[in-house]
Structure 1
Amino acid sequence: MDTLNGIECFVRSAEAGSFAAAARRLGLTPAAVGKNVARLEAALGVRLLQRSTRKLALTEAGEHFLQEAAGGLDTLRGAMAKLAGAGGQPAGTLKVSMALAFGRDYIVPLLGDFLARYPAIRPDWHFENRPVDLIGEGFDAAIGGGFELPPGAVARELAPAHRVLLAAPAYLAAQPSPATPADLARHDGILIRAPQSGRIPAWTLRDRGGHQAAIELKVRMTMDDPEAACHAARQGLGVTLVSTVHALPHLEAGTLQRVLPDWYVDAGAIAIYFPAQRLLARKTRLFVDFVVEHFRRQDYARRLSAL
C-alpha cells in the first residue's frame, strides 16, 4: 500500500505541477506528498521529478513512468472503491462544485435524504459560479450549464439551460408590455454581469419558429447576482433576463411574469458531470444517480424549459 500511495502522490504531483497542489487534492500535507514520492524514487532507483523552489519538472524516466502509471492508477483505485463498496456502505469525502443559488435551492434540500441513505459519505460542496477542472482540482463531480464540457469529463443532462425575460405584474400594468423584441429598447433593464468576465453578455433571443433577435434594454441598473436582479424586478424597477433556475420560484409564486413569453435564450443544458473513468468511485456514481432521479421525479426538465 505504501508503494501505491507513492505512485498516487507522484501522479497527482506531476499532473498539478507542485506538491502543494497535489496535497490539497489528496488531503495530505505537502511534506507528506514529497516524502511519499521520495520513497517511491528510492524503491525504483531513479529520479522521477526535478524539484525547484518554483515548480516540479518530470525527468525522462518520470515521463515514461507517468504514461504507464496514470491510467492504471485510476483503474486500480476505482476497482478498490468498487470492491470496498460492494461489501458495505459507500464511504468517503464527496467533493462537488455547483453554482451558489442553484446548489442552495435545488441540491442542498436533497442532503437529508441522501445522507440518510448513505451515512458514511461526507459532502464537501463548493458553491461557485464557474466551470471547474475535475481532475486538476480533485472534484468528484460538478453541476452547471451554459458552458462547454471540460476535457476528460462525461455528463448526464438534468434540464434545459434556458433564460427568460421577467418583470413584475405592476411594472407591466403601468406601461405597454413589449409585443416584439424591438419593443424592449423602450424598457428599463436590470442587467447582469457575467461572473468570469465582468461584462454583460450579448444574449440572443429565439422563438419556437427559429427566429432570432437581439436583447436591447435601457440600462437602468447592473448587478452580478441573478437573485438580486429578480428581487429588483419584483419591486417594479424594470425587466431582467435570468435562467429558468432562478425564474421558476418567482413565476410559480406569481411575483414575476414572463416578458415576451414566446421568446427565450437557449444556453444549452444543465448537467451533472464527472470524470470519464471506466470504474467510477461508487460514492460518485450513487450521487449522480440520486440527483438525476430526483430531477426526473420533480419533472424539472419540463418545469425549467422555456418552451
Structure 2
Amino acid sequence: MDRYQSMKTFVRVVETGSFSAAARLLNVGQPAVSKTIAQLEDHLQVRLLIRSTHGLTPTEAGLRFHERAKSAIQEADEAELAARGAGAGLSGRLRVSAATTFARLHIVPLLPRFLEQHPGLEIDVILDDRLIDLVAEGVDVSLRMGALLDSSAVARRLATGGRSVVATPAYLAQAGTPQSPADLADHEAVIYSQLPNVWSFTRESTEASVSVRGRVRVSAAEGLRAAVLADVGLTITSDWMFGPELASGAVRRVLEDWALPPLDLWAVFPAGRMASAKARVFASFVDRAPNPNFYRLCWSSSAM
C-alpha cells in the first residue's frame, strides 16, 4: 500500500463527501478509491468513515487522521518544492476556476507561458460565472472578482480594476448619449442577472443611484459582452471585458465624469486547508504576467 497516495485519496474523499467525486478528481475509478480506503482502514485497524444512505461521514478517528494527513501532504509538497528550488519543477495537476469570459480573454492566453515554465504540470480550468464550492470541486485556486462573501476564505488580492458604462457608437447614435446617471432610466440597458439593476455613481461629494430597465437579461458575462457588441443597449461592466474594443473605439465609455465602485481581483484558496505550492505559484504568475489588455487598460496592481 502506498501510504502517501492512500492519505491523498482519503483527504479527497472527506473533502468531497463521496467515493465517486473523489475518484473523478483523482482520475481513477470508484472501485479503486473504495479499495484504497478499505486497505487504509485495515492497515490502521480503525474505522475512518461511516457509510450510510446519506453519504460518508468521518468517524472521530477519521477526523483526526484527516487533519494530520492534510498537514503531512502539505509538508511533503513543500519539501519537494524546496528541494527543486522555489517555483521550479512543479508537477501533477492544478485545478483553477474562473469566470468564463475573464478566463477566455485574460487567463487562457497566459497558459502556454506558464506550462512552458513547468513542463511537468497539467492544468484543469473550470469555467463558471457562478461561485462554486472549491473543496467539493477539488479546486486549488479560484480567480474571483468583487467582494468576498465568505469570511473564512483564504485570499490574496491581485489587482484592482475600473468599471464603466459602455455602449457601441451605433447604439449611442440611435439612442443618444446620456449626460447624467438619471438619463440612464430612458435607455435600454443590458442587465446582468447576477447583479442588482440599480447602478450607483459618485462625483466628488455627490452620489447618484438609478434603477435601469432593459428587455435583455443575461446570466453570464459572455452574453453581456455579445449583447453590447450587437448594439442591444448599454451596460455597466468591468473595463477588462472590453479592453481591446475600448482601445479601438468599437465600444465607448459614457458618463466618464462619474465614478463607479472599483472591482478587486482575488486569488481564492479553499478554506480549511493550506494553499498548495502549485496554487501559490500560479497566483503569483497571474499577478506578474505582462498582459497589456489585462493590466494596462484595466487594472492597477495591488498585490498583497
1:154 corresponds to: 155
Task: Give the superposition deviation at 1:77.
Answer: 3.6
Is the aligned partner of 1:289 residue 2:288?
A: no
Q: Measured at CA, do residues 12 and 112 of structure 1 come closer, stay the same or move farther in structure 2, by a change above 3 Å?
A: closer
Give the AA of the match of 2:66: L
**Mean alpha-carbon deviation: is it higher for 103-112 or for 74-83?**
74-83
1:110 corresponds to: 110
1:145 corresponds to: 145
C-alpha separation in 1, matches of 2:166 and 2:30: 50
Q: Measured at CA, do residues 131 and 155 of structure 1 come closer, stay the same or move farther in structure 2, by a change above 3 Å?
A: farther
Structure 2, unaligned runs of 5 or more: none
More helix by share: 1
Report SS of the residue matched to 1:179. Answer: coil
CA contact (8 A) 2:94 2:123 kept: yes
TM-score of the aligned structures, taking structure 1 as reference length: 0.83
Q: Measured at CA, do residues 59 and 278 of structure 1 come closer, stay the same or move farther in structure 2, by a change above 3 Å?
A: closer
1:164-179 to 2 correspondence within 5 Å?
164-179=164-179
Task: Give the superposition deviation at 1:152.
Answer: 4.2
Give the AA of the match of 2:128: E
Report SS of the residue matched to 1:219. Answer: strand
Task: Give the superposition deviation at 1:106.
Answer: 0.8
Post-superposition Cα deviations, 1:210-232, rounded to whole Å, max 9, x if no partner, equal: 54332333424323344444444
Give the AA of the match of 2:265: I
Is the aligned partner of 1:35 residue 2:1?
A: no
1:61 corresponds to: 61
**Mean alpha-carbon deviation: is it higher for 247-256 or for 16-25?**
16-25
Q: Measured at CA, do residues 64 and 220 of structure 1 come closer, stay the same or move farther in structure 2, by a change above 3 Å?
A: closer
Q: Measured at CA, do residues 210 and 294 of structure 1 come closer, stay the same or move farther in structure 2, by a change above 3 Å?
A: farther
2:263 is aligned, of 250, 265, 268, to 268
C-alpha separation in 1, matches of 2:5 and 2:126: 26
Task: Give the superposition deviation at 1:52.
Answer: 2.2
Give the AA of the match of 2:179: A
Is the aligned partner of 1:8 residue 2:2?
A: no
C-alpha separation in 2, matches of 1:60 and 1:282: 29
Task: Give the superposition deviation at 1:10.
Answer: 2.5
Report SS of the residue matched to 1:178. Answer: coil
CA contact (8 A) 1:159 1:300 kept: no
C-alpha separation in 1, matches of 2:176 and 2:288: 43
2:298 corresponds to: 304
Q: Measured at CA, do residues 131 and 235 of structure 1 come closer, stay the same or move farther in structure 2, by a change above 3 Å?
A: closer
Q: Measured at CA, do residues 64 and 97 of structure 1 come closer, stay the same or move farther in structure 2, by a change above 3 Å?
A: closer
Task: Give the superposition deviation at 1:293.
Answer: 0.6
1:197 corresponds to: none
Report SS of the residue matched to 2:204. Answer: coil
C-alpha separation in 2, matches of 1:234 and 1:77: 50
Give the AA of the match of 1:79: E
Post-superposition Cα deviations, 1:250-288, rounded to whole Å, max 9, x if no partner, equal: 211101111211234426311222347997544333322
CA contact (8 A) 1:165 1:259 kept: yes
Is the aligned partner of 1:255 residue 2:254?
A: no
1:129 corresponds to: 129
Q: Measured at CA, do residues 19 and 218 of structure 1 come closer, stay the same or move farther in structure 2, by a change above 3 Å?
A: closer
Post-superposition Cα deviations, 1:83-113, rounded to whole Å, max 9, x if no partner, equal: 4643972211121111111111111111222
Task: Give the superposition deviation at 1:301.
Answer: 4.8
CA contact (8 A) 2:153 2:268 kept: no
Task: Give the superposition deviation at 1:292.
Answer: 0.8
Is the aligned partner of 1:238 residue 2:233?
A: yes
Task: Give the superposition deviation at 1:119.
Answer: 1.8
CA contact (8 A) 1:90 1:283 kept: yes
Is the aligned partner of 1:73 residue 2:72?
A: yes
**Mean alpha-carbon deviation: is it higher for 229-238 or for 26-35?**
229-238
Post-superposition Cα deviations, 1:10-41, rounded to whole Å, max 9, x if no partner, equal: 33322322212222233332222222221221
1:161-240 to 2 correspondence within 5 Å?
162-194=162-194, 201-209=196-204, 211-240=206-235
**Mean alpha-carbon deviation: is it higher for 3-12 or for 135-144?**
3-12
Give the AA of the match of 2:297: R
Give the AA of the match of 1:269: D
Residues paired across the two proteins, number? 298
Give the AA of the match of 1:204: W
Q: Measured at CA, do residues 203 and 24 of structure 1 come closer, stay the same or move farther in structure 2, by a change above 3 Å?
A: farther
1:80-95 to 2 correspondence within 5 Å?
80-83=79-82, 85-86=84-85, 89-95=89-95
TM-score of the aligned structures, taking structure 2 as reference length: 0.84
